[in-house]
Structure formats: C-alpha cells, structure tokens
C-alpha cells in the first residue's frame, strides 16, 4: 500500500457518518421524539425516524401527527444507534413489537449503542435485553424497571456501556446531547449545546 492509498483510506474512514434509527410508535411523546431527532441531526448524525407500523403519519400522545422518514420494517442499511422515545402508549407498543425486539437483540448482541427515554425502557424486560444493567426511566414506571435493572433515579441520564437511558420530556435535551457526545465527541456536543441556548 502506497502513502497515497493510506491517505485515501483514512479520508474515507473519516467521512463515514454515524447513523441513528429512532423508532416512532403511536402514542409516543412528541417532545422527546422531535428533540432527539433535531439534536442528533444538528450533531452530524444521519438520523432516520422510522414508523413502527409503516411510513404514514403517526398520531402521538398529544394528538400531534408526525410523518416518519420510513417504515421500521423497511429501514435499510447499517445503523450505529437505536433510540426509543417514550410516552405511555408508545412504550406499550414498543414492548409488544416483534420488530423492535429483533432490533434490540441485534444491537445488544453486537454492542451497538441503544438509547431509551421516559417509559421506553419497559421494552427491555419485554424483549429480554439489558437485564441487570444500570438505567433510569420516568417515575411512573420506576417500580417495574427496578425489578429488571439497576434503577438510578438520581441522574437525568444514565450510561452503562452501550446503554443510555433518561427520564422524560424535560431531560430530552441532556439525553440527546449525551448521545451526540458519545458518538461525535465533546467538541461537537459543545457546539450543539451552545446553539440551543439552554438555561444554566
């Protein structure tokens, strides 16, 4: 291999853009889904919003309709990150979906990054992934999560290896920034955060 070939290979590696798959179920929490997609895209992560039941408009928890980019069943290509927004009804649908279970098991087995917020960690016991791992969730489902994982309600975002969890709509910004930081680095995450003008 010549030095020119090596430089070309390094440049090709550097231009690979991480990809995130965000699963959107009916009854999901609007603010979580939109904030997560917004911040990941600001951070330079190619983000596909995938409808659990197809590519048509999805009715969310506060009756806002959101049009996904694709159907989960047909979302193709390699994804580095799988993210589950919460919302009580959305979480119930994630927990009962075979498609979600298949994706979760693949990501868990391969050590790829998985994020879940609010009530969405209920999908973990339902699909038998991440048992015994440190995680957080919305207070309304904390007792159920405590029976499956190591519940930590002291932190708005909890990281345990390839698992990132968070508590609810109000922690969506911190959750998404944590993912950007893990995938794109501190400098990019700080740039995104500055542009948000978050209160101190």
Please calculate the CA angle 31-37-43 and round it to the nearest 5 degrees: 130
Catalytic residue among 58, 72, 118, 158: 118
Spatial CA neighbour of 78 closest among 55, 100, 54, 103: 103
Residues 6+ apart with CB under 8 A from 141: 91, 119, 121, 122
Angstrom CA distances, 158 to 3, 116, 128, 151, stand at 43, 10, 19, 9
**Is 118 labeled as catalytic in the residue annotation?**
yes
Task: Please state, in angstroms and rounded to a whole number, the distance separating the CA atoms of residues 145 and 159.
Answer: 15
Task: Please state, in angstroms and rounded to a whole number, the distance separating the CA atoms of residues 23 and 113.
Answer: 14
Task: Please state, in angstroms and rounded to a whole number, the distance separating the CA atoms of residues 77 and 100.
Answer: 16
Report the catalytic residues: 118
């Amino acid at each position: 291999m010549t030095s020119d070939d090596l430089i070309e290979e390094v440049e090709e590696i550097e231009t690979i853009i991480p990809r995130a798959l965000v699963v959107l179920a009916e009854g999901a929490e609007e603010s979580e889904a939109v904030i997560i997609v917004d911040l990941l895209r600001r951070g330079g992560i190619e983000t596909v919003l995938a409808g659990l039941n197809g590519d048509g408009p999805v009715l969310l928890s506060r009756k806002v309709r959101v049009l996904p980019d694709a159907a989960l069943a047909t979302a193709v290509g390699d994804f580095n990150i799988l993210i589950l927004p919460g919302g009580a009804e959305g979480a119930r649908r994630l927990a009962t979906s075979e498609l979600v279970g298949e994706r979760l098991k693949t990501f868990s087995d391969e050590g790829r990054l998985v994020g879940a917020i609010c009530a969405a960690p209920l999908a973990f016991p339902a699909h038998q992934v991440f048992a015994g791992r440190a995680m957080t969730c919305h207070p309304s489902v904390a007792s159920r999560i405590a029976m499956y994982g190591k519940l930590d309600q002291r932190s708005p975002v909890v990281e345990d290896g390839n698992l990132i969890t968070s508590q609810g709509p109000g922690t969506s910004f911190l959750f998404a920034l944590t993912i950007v930081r893990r995938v794109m680095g501190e400098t990019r995450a700080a740039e995104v955060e500055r542009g948000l003008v978050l209160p101190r």
